Each structure stands twice: as structure tokens, then as C-alpha cells.
Amino acid sequence: MTYHIKEEKNLNPVKLQSLFKHAPWAKDRTPEEIVQMLQHTHMVFSVWADEKLVGFARVLTDFTFRAMIYDVVIHPNHQRAGLGRLLLEKIIHHPKLTPIQVLSLFTRDKIDFYEKLGFQAASNHGLSGMLYIRPAPSHYC
């Protein structure tokens, strides 16, 4: 199977919604929300197996000091093929992002995977992650 990475924001929101069904944090996103998310995201990376969307990640950044990586997901049928590594390496080494000192992300369960790519726990650097979480809209309950 041939895989390739695209860097474009005009993804079909229904295809992305189908991929998000495999990510617990994103499984309830609607196509309308996905369209809005893509419009307000600085960089979008997608992984394709021929014409099928099988991976995704996005970046919010100031292009100077910080970048935040969100929504890293690889379809379960395509995991263990090195696609997550390929996708993250594409982001880490992207010419627009290489001047940035700190790339950050949140993860619940893939800590070992990200550590192998060079990510470290923020607490190792005297930092603590802080979140402000609004109550979920009723359609997420």
C-alpha cells in the first residue's frame, strides 16, 4: 500500500469525522464543527492510503515561539505501519516549525510513542500543564 502526507486544510469534513470516530476525544465532532476547526487551524497534515484518509494531525502556532500539536490520529487498520512516526516527524521537521523552540501536545496513553520521538514530560522542565475546561455542551453529554 502506498501512503502519502498532504498539507492542506480543505479536507472533506465527513471523511475526517469518520476518522475521528476512532479517537475517543474526537468521536462526537460534527462536520460543521470540523469545518470551523479547520478554518481556524494554522497547519493541517493528513495521511492517505491511495484515496482513503487514514491519519491526521493539526498545529496551532505563533510561528515564532510555540506550537501546539492537536488531534493526532491514525486509523486502527493502519497503525503499526510507522505512519504516526512519519506524521510527527513531518511536523517536527517542517521548515515553518523548525525555528520554534517548544512544540507541545497532550496525550492520555501514547507517552512511550511520543518519548521515542523526543517529546518529554513538561514537569521534567519545571513546567506544569494547566487546563481550563468549560462544561460540555449538551450534545456531548
| pLDDT tens across the length of the chain (141 residues) | 899 999 999 999 999 999 999 999 899 999 999 999 999 999 999 999 988 999 999 999 999 999 999 999 999 999 999 999 999 999 999 999 999 988 999 887 788 888 898 888 777 666 666 555 557 666 554
Among 3, 70, 114, 140, the active-site one is 114
pTM: 0.87
Cα Rg of the chain (Å, integer) = 15
Cβ–Cβ under 8 Å, residues 74 and 80: no
Is 140 catalytic? The answer is: no
Q: Dihedral sign, CA of 131, 133, 139, 140?
A: positive
Fold of 3-140: Aminopeptidase (3.40.630)
Residue 14's contacts (CB-CB under 8 Å, 6 or more residues apart) are 31
